[in-house]
Amino acid sequence: MSEHNFSIEFFPPKTAEGAEKLRVTRVKLAELHPKYFSVTFGAGGTTQQGTLDTVIDIRKEGYAAAPHLSCVGGTRDSIRDILKQYQANDIHRLVALRGDLPSGYGAAGEFRYANELVEFIRAETGDWFHIEVAAYPEMHPQARSPQDDLQSFVRKMNAGANAAITQYFYNADAYFQFVELAQKAGVTAPIVAGIMPITNSSQLMRFSEMCGAEIPRWVRLKLASFGDDTASIKAFGLDVVTHLCERLLAGGAPGLHFYSLNQAAATTAIWQRLV
């Protein structure tokens, strides 16, 4: 598995207790030797300091860290300041996103789209950062059409991104078709598959509703049939997601990016089945 690009995502903890729990999780997941840990960024910069604190902790522990950076609410000056802080702390990876404007939030900021953010980062910092952007195999929920969505993705890559990470999905064919179309449109950079372990069916339904990820009907029905039987949900989820990962890697996916939700068990279990 070492030839694949394997990474794990966290969200910034909001409390000291959460930070301590995440440290314990990180120690466990570091045993899997991921290429890096990424850390999400809240809408309108609500967790900007938390993102910075978390990536600095990760760097101090000796691991590569990739903070998310969002357009939402950002100005050129504020983004420039954040980039300087990351450079000062020896951070060499970024995940550059448009981000979602929260309801009731005011101006979108000076950057409307992720490609504008990527261009700005390149103009300000040259090749200092390895930049990843988002990809949507099943189409971004706000895109007008799959064709528009693909064109938007190509613009981000052409703006200077090094690689992409997809939204999570459970339909491998959607991923393979997206990659094929992106390559036909001239994208040569790696498109890493985003993986969401299944451990909690109601949480999964909620997340998927928000981000537009399709849960296959047979998976939804099977999860519903388990009711509150969490052991059965986790066992079934482990089988489904492991099989998905096996198919993706066998089909040429350059790597897997696990959305850990700050938990170690599910990601570890899937990874151990794959090696």
pLDDT one-digit tens code per residue, 39-73 = 998 644 455 678 888 999 999 999 999 999 887 66
Say which CATH number the domain at 138 has: 3.20.20.220
Reduce the DSSP state of residue 38 to 3 states and report it. strand
CA distances from 175 to 3, 59, 149, 227, 247 (A): 20, 32, 14, 30, 11
pLDDT above 70: percentage of residues in the chain: 92
First-to-last C-alpha distance (Å) of the chain: 6
Structural domain span for residue 84: 5-274
Lowest mean pLDDT among 1-10, 76-85, 197-206, 261-270: 1-10
**pTM of the predicted protein model:** 0.93
Please give the structure tokens belonging to residue 164: 């992409």
pLDDT at position 210 is: 85
As separate numbers, helices (DSSP H) first and strands (DSSP E) second, the chain gives 10, 8
Spot the catalytic one: 9, 119, 132, 138: 9
Local confidence band at 103 (pLDDT 50, 70, 90 cut-offs)? very low
Contact between residue 175 and residue 169 where contact means Cβ atoms under 8 Å apart: yes
User: What's the number of domains the chain is made of?
Assistant: 1
Average pLDDT taken over every residue of the chain? 89
Q: Which amino acid is residue 24, in one-letter code?
A: V
Q: State yes or no: is 9 an active-site residue.
A: yes
